[in-house]
Amino acid sequence: MKRIGMLTSGGDCQALNATMRGVAKTLYNLYDESVEIYGFIDGYKGLMYEDYRKMSKDDFTGILTIGGTILGSSRQPFKKMREPDPNGLDKVEAMKTTYRRLRLDCLVILGGNGSQKTANLLSEEGLNIIGLPKTIDNDLWGTDMTFGFQSAVDIATNVIDCIHTTAASHNRIFIVEIMGHGAGWLTLNAGMAGGADIILIPEIPYNIESVIDTVIHRANKGHGFTIIAVAEGAKTMEDATLSKKDYKKRVEKMLKSYPSISYEIAAQITAACGQEVRVTVPGHMQRGGAPDPYDRVLSSRMGAHAALMISREEYGQMVAIKNSTVCSVPLKEIAGKLKTVDPDSDIIREARLLGIKFGDEKIK
């Protein structure tokens, strides 16, 4: 009898259920009735406090197209994993105890950067772990793509598409703020797909004068509107020179005057150009709804591969996709590493060739 644990950790996204379905369906096909799956409620929290339920085949039926997660999720910061809970509970030891009490053969963990760091920690503590790469930010090291990313791109692109029509109708400047604190993959892809004129991402610090110059240049060329796609973690050139501590203070100061960086940029453009600037923040919409067809296929493939790895006892690995091939990478090699956009990459060069500005251009 194979006894498998499963949990979803961190922020939700569109293809978590589809991925769990891929794991479960493959396990049932491989082992028939000789497999038991235990789902932990609300991520690592359920593993810590023995909050779980034994799953049945019916639990994984009809969830391919459903967003979110049937197991629930929570954020359990990696940096606090070694700290006791308010009642003095040793979190790591508690998770190990739950694992062993259920006599699990493997624990399958669906999560992003922080979740995979904890997955590696548990692997180093002697548990059999397989990770699955979840995040709309596509910033997990070792995989070309994460499930949830493409669905989020679709949503963010649709927002920009809708903004385009009203921006053109009223000759306004619009800023669309897209999720992504440390990596700009989502903003870059949605911005290109939606035809944004300016894209601001964390990896390419911007000069507000350059952004304003682009807006004025477009107006002088007869373009009555400008679409700016801004990652929530976009930084000015000045911000990029600050220490982590000083940057945090700068953000805290900014938030006393503006809801987010996009509103500060809007105020700066209005002050310089006198043009009305509107800000749209789709927020958690980007993480919600049904997974798109691409993510349904990707997550199904990754889930099936995870089940195959269980059958082969290939533990301490995260499922990945490289050059369209599903494979695996050691957790110890990817834990704690952020995959960011290379400013000199082909996609950035091609975006520049299309005339898209990144706010780092020299002011004429």
Which residue out of 12, 58, 85, 137 is catalytically annotated? 137
Phi-psi region of 316 (alpha: psi -120 to 50; beta: other; left: phi over 0): left
Contact 27, 310 (CB under 8 A): yes
Distance, in Å, from the CA atom of 201 to the CA atom of 265, rounded to the nearest integer, reads 13
Report how far apart, in Å, the C-alpha atoms of 151 and of each of 134, 135, 156, 162, 292 are. Answer: 12, 11, 9, 17, 5
DSSP string, 26-66: HHHHHHTTSEEEEEETTTHHHHHTT-EEE--GGGGSS-TT-
- Give the whole-angstrom CA distance, residue 190 versus residue 263: 20
Active-site annotation holds for 137: yes
Residue 315 CB burial class (10 angstroms; 0-12, 13-18, ≥19): middle
Kindly write down the DSSP assignment for every residue of 231-300, as one continuous string: ETT--BHHHHTS-HHHHHHHHHHHHTT-SSHHHHHHHHHHHHH---EEEE--GGGGG-SPPPHHHHHHHH
Nearest in space to 115 (alpha carbons), one of 162, 74, 59, 143: 74
Return d(Cα 219, Cα 309) in angstroms, integer.
Answer: 57
CA distance 225 to 230: 16
Q: How far apart are CA 188 and CA 213, in angstroms?
A: 21
Number of CB atoms found within 10 A of residue 55's CB:
18
Question: What is the widest separation between alpha-carbon atoms in the chain?
Answer: 72
| Catalytic sites, residue numbers | 137
